[in-house]
Structure 1
Amino acid sequence: MAGRRKPHFLTDQAGFRSASYGPFILQSGFQPIFSQDAEGRLTIEAFEALIRPMSNGQRVSPGHFFSLVEPEDAVFVDTMCRELHILNMGKLGRKKARLFINFNPSLFHELAEIDDEADRMVSVAIEAGLRPSRIVCEITEQGSGDNSVLNRLVSSLRARMFKIAVDDFGADDSDIARVTELNPDILKFDAAWVRRFTETSAGMGLLKLMVERFTSQGITVLFEGLEEDHQVDFCSEIGVKLMQGYALARPEIVPTSFSERFPEFPDRPEPEAVYHAAPAANAEETGGLPRRSGNAAAPFRRAATFGKRTR
């Protein structure tokens, strides 16, 4: 099967992996997902894994790269990206943070392929030294057409202790129905939708009601694409547990500076408690958060806004 050939990984001196596909070198970019306490102290609860392609020493947009992947290689490349991210997460050495990785259900045509892929992810997680429960599988909206495939993918991943996130929630009737059916652990609100609704008091009221609704169902809500400080403050006001965006931290290619800037604390709770409770030298892009000063173990307090998203 074309999608089951073994990927070729390259390992640097620090032990981090990259992958190759044709003329492209693929690297892992990680963007932190934070929780915030009442005093504005940030804790990294997870990282979203982002593929970062290069060709001839130049960065290539992920969208352009994936548009050039041969159709018969789509499953292979999709799987390779997940394996690359999981292995790099293991090398990152954090003991508690989770990793968000993408699944596109539309790439699976046979139900048996889904179980094979889920088993493969378990094997890679074990190789990386990660429990499957530390990996959050984001179900992308492209794959919501075939319910039998979608439901089998979710049930197969959940049976192996992976966590489930529904991505790009926008509060359409179809989105609400999808959440009701899948009952994910995490619900990621669409970034553009959140930005639009935070521009008016009526929109903010609707967001508050929706967060309360999903939280009461035991679903952890994540707002992504946060670009302004007032959006981060609003998340705290309405009970959004997880936050992500350039107002907090930009993605970085592994190895990242995040362990230095946001160290783990041995006495903090395991991720399960959070998920179900009511400029760096190697920064990928300029304008990242400043390094902390003083005691390296001191909690990091959120600073000012650090630029717009430029995707």
Structure 2
Amino acid sequence: MLSNRWKTITAELDFAFQPIVHIQSGEIFAVEALLRNVDKAGGFHSIFALFDEAFHDGILYQLDIELRLKAFEKFSNIDIKNLKIFYNLDNRILYMPDFKLGNTEKILQKYKLDKECACFELSERGTLSDPSSVTNLVRRYKQSGFAIAIDDFGTGIAGFQMLYYAEADFIKIDRFFIENIQNDNKKRLFCQHIINIAHTMGITVIAEGVETKEEYYICKEIGANLLQGYFVQKPTLDIANIQKNYLNIKKIYEDDSRTHTANSIDSKQITYMVPLFIEDLNFKKIFQYFKQNKELHFIPVIDKHSIVKGIICENEIRDLSYSQYGMSLVQNDDNGKKLSKYIKDKNIVRVEISWSVDKILEVYHNAKGDLQGLFVTNNGKYLGFINSNNLLSISYKRNVALATQKNPLTKLPGNDSIKKFIKESFHTDKSSFHTFVYFDFNDFKPFNDSYGFRTGDRVILLFSEILKKEFSSKSFIAHIGGDDFFVGFKNIDYPTVYRSVGSIQKKFKEEVSSIYSRDDRQRGYISTQDRFGIQRNFNLLSVSAAILEIQAQSLLENFDVIMGEIKKESKKHQTPIGCSILKE
């Protein structure tokens, strides 16, 4: 029993709830219960200090049970169907002499809550001394039928070990990796790999601590499933503030130009296989299902919330039906528990319908093994199945599409990629800025007419190689078509860009002169007919350059007009000309 002091402390403690929402729809999925008032209740400077003292006093598990009662009681008053609660566990409760399983079921029964609503959150912080303790705790709760989330993923030493052994349902990427991710390629790469591994293992990913629109864009782009942070809502003590739908998230998703792309799965590739519900599953239904669907090799199994729980394979059930127990199993409806061992959740990989083709194919190729295909979900709910043959077809078509997006001569990205880069650049945070450079050859048509298209292609290839050598891999180099090129920069100051562009103009003029005949080179011009058939003299090739800088306050609607004007003006100058788009 808790001492009077601890009872007083517990009575003063409260829980705030912070929503966890679907990243594309803003529909609420869960709330995390966050302990509050620890300073007022017992003068503790942090929640960690509270639990440290309870651990040293040997009452950590007793305290935890009292807090569960408080959290689940408050949660039960939120009037939103199918909502989950993420409750944080201190893994040290495993070392308490009074630790035992079963108390949570009693609490849930008391407040008339389903077991499916509870998800226990375990942090990988502080697991260096005994990494196996968290893994063991996860396994115990999983065996009891509760969902498990790994919190603060990436901050501890045992994270990947936990992923491998614990079979968690969720991982929450720590705020450290989310903060300013749009400006940190290492963070983005790290999170991308974590998400790919998690999805391959059938684990749902929560981006934790998202505070800005720019962080949201990147988390969505790299495939996070769920979102939590101030950008959605701060933790609230008042449950009346919890919303069923966060329309700001839905709107920003719909407004994000990057979602409107051809790089998405065709619904015709998705097969809807009628699932069976795990809650009322029995052998009779399974036998009948395979009898009526002889072409199918497995049945998808979902729960009452339409979450895919696994598959039942036809070959195992077929062998069972031929056994001496087959008839008795069919006649006995009360054998749902025996079926659990036939529900396979290994190699069950889920992908979201909102993901790009590239993301879905990446998950599929990473999974490999005996995978027959992928389950497709919408906001985590079962939508259908894409078999391996369709995935191979999608992969082939995507490779063809990627090839067509590149300029066939220079192999540089083309117009679609340029448009995407420009639009993404306008989704920038206040500390970032982008610079665009448009290159256009001067007097290229007369050169082509005089020297032929093959020589003209040599000039285009020459310029593309100059661009690749001059600019680093961090620059975005693209070929608009013909003699027009585009280069994009992020967070490179204008003087640096201006000097580099001027250097390219000079280098191109020097190197392209070697392609001319000796007579033309000595004269410094070529004589040929213009577009009206009049004989004229044209200078040797050079390239004009228009530089345009945009910042956080720049408006996309101003872009086309300003860019057109500056490109026209650049043709009058031998050196680069530039300007900046402002809000007004």
- TM > 0.5 fold call: yes
Aligned to 2:12: 25
Report whether the alignment pairs 1:108 with 2:94.
yes
- Where do 1:93-104 residues align within 5 Å? 93-104=79-90
User: Equivalent pairs: percent with the same residue?
Assistant: 21
1:129 is matched with which residue: 90, 112, 121?
A: 112
Q: Which has the higher contact order (CA 8 A, sep 6+)?
A: 1
2:178 is matched with which residue: 188, 194, 203?
A: 194
Deviation, 1:52, is 1.3
Q: 2 CA distance for matches of 1:224 and 1:255? A: 20
Q: 2 CA distance for matches of 1:260 and 1:215? A: 26
Task: Go from structure 1 to structure 2 and tell me whether the alpha carbon gap of 1:173 and 1:251 turns closer, same or farther (over 3 Å shift).
Answer: closer
SS state of the match for residue 107, structure 1?
A: helix
Deviation, 1:128, is 1.6
Report whether the alignment pairs 1:227 with 2:211.
yes
- Where do 1:165-176 residues align within 5 Å? 165-170=149-154, 174-176=158-160
The question of whether the paired residues in 2 share the 8 Å contact of 1:105 and 1:142 is answered with no
| TM-score scaled by length of structure 2 | 0.39
Structure 1 portions without partners, runs of 5+: 8-18, 264-268, 279-311
C-alpha distance after superposition, 1:178-219 (max 9, x if no partner):
211112100111111232654323432332232122112101
The question of whether the paired residues in 1 share the 8 Å contact of 2:18 and 2:236 is answered with yes
Task: Go from structure 1 to structure 2 and tell me whether the alpha carbon gap of 1:23 and 1:138 turns closer, same or farther (over 3 Å shift).
Answer: closer
Aligned to 1:90: 76
Q: 2 CA distance for matches of 1:83 and 1:143? A: 26
SS state of the match for residue 142, structure 2?
A: helix
> What CA RMSD, in Å, does the superposition of the two structures yield over aligned residues?
3.5
Task: Go from structure 1 to structure 2 and tell me whether the alpha carbon gap of 1:165 and 1:150 turns closer, same or farther (over 3 Å shift).
Answer: same
The question of whether the paired residues in 2 share the 8 Å contact of 1:140 and 1:166 is answered with yes
The question of whether the paired residues in 1 share the 8 Å contact of 2:177 and 2:187 is answered with no
Q: 1 CA distance for matches of 2:109 and 2:242? A: 23
Q: 1 CA distance for matches of 2:57 and 2:306? A: 37
Task: Go from structure 1 to structure 2 and tell me whether the alpha carbon gap of 1:193 and 1:271 turns closer, same or farther (over 3 Å shift).
Answer: farther
Instruction: Give 4+ residue runs of structure 1 displaced > 6 Å after superposition.
Output: none
Report whether the alignment pairs 1:255 with 2:217.
no
Aligned to 2:139: 155
Equivalences, count: 254
Once the two structures are overlaid, the 10-residue window that deviates more, 140-149 or 174-183, is: 140-149
SS state of the match for residue 88, structure 2?
A: strand
SS state of the match for residue 217, structure 2?
A: helix
The question of whether the paired residues in 2 share the 8 Å contact of 1:88 and 1:254 is answered with no
The question of whether the paired residues in 2 share the 8 Å contact of 1:198 and 1:204 is answered with yes
Deviation, 1:130, is 1.5
Q: 1 CA distance for matches of 2:130 and 2:21? A: 33
Task: Go from structure 1 to structure 2 and tell me whether the alpha carbon gap of 1:276 and 1:61 turns closer, same or farther (over 3 Å shift).
Answer: farther
Residue type at the aligned position of 1:270: H
Structure 2 portions without partners, runs of 5+: 248-303, 310-348, 353-584
Aligned to 1:218: 202
Report whether the alignment pairs 1:72 with 2:63.
no
- Structure that is richer in helix per residue: 2
| TM-score scaled by length of structure 1 | 0.69
The question of whether the paired residues in 2 share the 8 Å contact of 1:135 and 1:162 is answered with yes
Report whether the alignment pairs 1:272 with 2:307.
yes
Report whether the alignment pairs 1:45 with 2:29.
yes
Q: 2 CA distance for matches of 1:156 and 1:189? A: 23
Q: 1 CA distance for matches of 2:140 and 2:238? A: 29
The question of whether the paired residues in 1 share the 8 Å contact of 2:10 and 2:67 is answered with no
Task: Go from structure 1 to structure 2 and tell me whether the alpha carbon gap of 1:234 and 1:125 turns closer, same or farther (over 3 Å shift).
Answer: same
Computing the radius of gyration over CA atoms, which structure comes out larger, 1 or 2? 2
SS state of the match for residue 91, structure 1?
A: coil
